[in-house]
Amino acid sequence: MTDKVKTWELISREPVTRNGWRDLERVVFRRPDGSEADFFIKIEFPSAVVLALTKDREVIVARQFRPGPNAIAGELPGGAIDEGETPVQAAERELLEETGYRGIVRHTAVVLDCAYSTKRLHCVIITDCEKVAGQALDDGEFIEVVLMPLPEFREHLRSGMITDMEAAYLGLDLLGLL
């Protein structure tokens, strides 16, 4: 690898819009050739996403309507990491709230989300899950829990109707299940 690719120098950043969830900043960098360039960057909080498998190696899928794609998707459980929580605590909480399952944390990994977002995705892999409670959904959450055997889950991934595909494949990879 050459010196061609360097970290750019941050010159300035200013808010474009602030609304508590989808903040944008105009960020100016100095590039390797000395020129300045500005970008609209999404300021997004880290989130936790859980690849969770039951003792029978079925994947716990949260089937729900998603307002961005305007479609029903089969998602991995997960959500925002609350103030004071670790990513693992957030993952365990979201899994329990959305599905009623609890298990053993096996791996964690951090993944970049988007070239124009500050977001980091904390992937948490939980195995040997058992149902210990009912769902405890937030107001406005309508989630159907679907258990998918691995071959069916792989087909689901190939369908593309999931926004957490990276965490799903990465989790299966780290578990040696690809």
- Interaction site with its own copies (CB under 8 A): 1-2, 4-8, 10, 16-17, 19, 21-22, 24, 27, 29, 31-33, 35, 37, 39-42, 63-73, 75, 109-120, 123, 140, 142-144, 146, 154, 157-158, 160-163, 165-166, 169-170, 173-174, 178
Residue 155 CB coordination number (10 Å)? 11
Residue 2 or residue 56: which is nearer to its own copies going by CB? Answer: 2
Nearest to 163 by CA among 88, 63, 90, 94: 63
> Closest approach of Cβ 53 to its own copies, in Å?
17
> Closest approach of Cβ 161 to its own copies, in Å?
6
> Closest approach of Cβ 4 to its own copies, in Å?
5
Q: Which residue has the tokens 């190939």?
A: 158
Residue 18 CB coordination number (10 Å)? 11
Q: Which helix (H) or strand (E) holds 66?
A: strand 58-66
> Closest approach of Cβ 55 to its own copies, in Å?
23
Residue 113 or residue 128: which is nearer to its own copies going by CB? Answer: 113
Residue 7 or residue 84: which is nearer to its own copies going by CB? Answer: 7
Rounded distance between C-alpha atoms, residue 122 and residue 40, angstroms:
23
Query: Do residues 8 and 29 touch, judged by C-beta distance below 8 A?
Result: yes
Residue 102 or residue 119: which is nearer to its own copies going by CB? Answer: 119
> Closest approach of Cβ 42 to its own copies, in Å?
7
Roughly what angle, to the nearest 10 degrees, separates helices 150-159 and 165-174?
A: 140
Query: Do residues 124 and 168 touch, judged by C-beta distance below 8 A?
Result: no
Residue 72 or residue 132: which is nearer to its own copies going by CB? Answer: 72
Using only C-alpha atoms, the chain has a radius of gyration, in whole angstroms, of 19
